[in-house]
Amino acid sequence: MTTRRGFLAGLLATGLAPNAGWASAGNPAFLTAGKDAGGTFLLAGLTREGEILFRHALPGRGHAAAAHPIRPEAVAFARRPGRFADVIDCRSGAAIARLEPPAGHHFYGHGTFSPDGSRLFTTENDYENARGVIGVWDAAGSYRRITAYSSGGIGPHDMALRRDAPGLVVANGGIETHPDSGRAKLNLADMRPNLSYLSLEGELQAQMELPQELRLNSIRHLAVRADGTVGFAMQWQGDPGEQLPAAGLHRPGTAPRLMAEDDARVLNLNGYGGSVAFSADGSRIGVTSPRGGVLQVMDTASGALLREFRMHDVCGLAASAGGFTASTGTGQFFAVSDAGQHPLHRADLAWDNHLIPLI
């Protein structure tokens, strides 16, 4: 998932860096959703070690979040099929706006800002028409909805800024759902997941579909390396117990590269890639599985599975200086490296699926 580092470096070079920004909110390293012991859902800003810098209550369960590239504002997205996206001033905790999708739509739990922070993009389900939509909101003003366009498929879940060209990459999971049917999957007979590369104005520029034998491997979560390589995590919708990859790499114009597909240890992921992240140097990619209670780390050059770490209910994942940082539904924060896994902090709450890096 794209961070603010590259954009802020450009601002510094031109002398346009803001005076306050995220430093005024304590310079959090991560944003994440969670639930406290009293059952209150929240968005939190965390240090690199997992200590809480700030927390703000949410009206329901959150999933992921987006950090404004300049201002200390965060957008907390409801878990699918939620209908709220709360924009929060992370200095004061003040509610800036509550976004709601149009009638017949719901959010998918993810979104991202444009590089200059003027627009917010949200993944949405137009469930009456069984199509994926990207909503576009005016983040320079009152967060009014500007427009919307096709996501390039069905079931857009995660989305990130490209690093090799201006635009977005969207993980269209391929699964049709409808709120009247709960979380039932309505189109397994003909689902077609894809990665869609869009301009910021919605033009479809490139698209990748998995091979036919993997069409039930729903593409759900994304990470983007500095050279533009997209890492993706998948969730298998076919028969349980099949030995199938849960992570892959892609560049536009090439075939996808699947990670550790011949390694029997992929069975330990239980068919479920929860979060995905590149290491800081891009040489490794990690994927978590809360269902399997495992984090696997693979070599991006060879695709080989290098290390496996057992952590109960692990899902959140981000790069750290020595490897990766992982969070769990039991409130644990871990540092993971070649030296092993080391607990950093334990909070009396449950962290949700994703760690959103800010620095």
Q: Predicted confidence band at 5 (pLDDT cuts at 50, 70, 90)? A: very low
If one compares 1 and 237, the residue with the highest pLDDT of the two is 237
The helix/strand/coil state of 356 is: strand
pLDDT at 357 over 60: yes
Of 13-22, 83-92, 132-141, which range is least confident?
A: 13-22
pLDDT at 12 over 60: no
The pLDDT of residue 183 is 79
Task: Using alpha carbons, select from 313, 326, 312, 334 the residue that is nearest to residue 357.
Answer: 326
- Give the pLDDT confidence score for residue 14 in this predicted structure: 28
**pLDDT reported for residue 182:** 82
Q: What are phi and psi of 221, to 5 degrees?
A: -130, 155
Q: Please state the rounded mean pLDDT for residues 138-163.
A: 97
pLDDT for res 181: 85
For the chain, what is the mean pLDDT? 93
Backbone angles phi, psi at 182, to 5 degrees: 65, -130
Closest Cα to residue 123, out of 142, 103, 137? 137
- In this prediction the pTM is 0.93
Would you state the pLDDT for residue 351? 98
Residue type, 240: P
Q: What is the pLDDT of residue 241?
A: 85
- HSE at residue 192, side-chain half, CA atoms within 13 A, is 11
Asked if pLDDT for residue 275 goes beyond 70, the answer is yes
Q: Are 247 and 298 in contact (CB under 8 A)?
A: yes
For residue 105, list its beta bridge partners: 126
DSSP character string of 157-193: EEEEE-SSSSSEEEEE------GGGTT--S-TTT---
pLDDT of 125 strictly over 90: yes
pLDDT at 3 over 60: no
Q: pLDDT tier at 20 (50, 70, 90 boundaries)?
A: low
Is 95's pLDDT higher than 90? yes
Residue 307 has pLDDT above 90, yes or no: yes
What is the bridge-based pairing of β-strands 105-113 and 119-126? antiparallel
pLDDT at 15 over 70: no
In eight-state DSSP terms, residue 272 is: B
* Residues linked to residue 106 through DSSP beta bridges, in sequence order: 125
What's the whole-number mean pLDDT along residues 245-273?
96
Mean pLDDT, to the nearest integer, of 263-291?
Answer: 97
Whether 19 shows a pLDDT value over 80: the answer reads no
pLDDT at residue 312, rounded to an integer: 97
pLDDT of residue 147: 98
3-state secondary structure of 13: helix
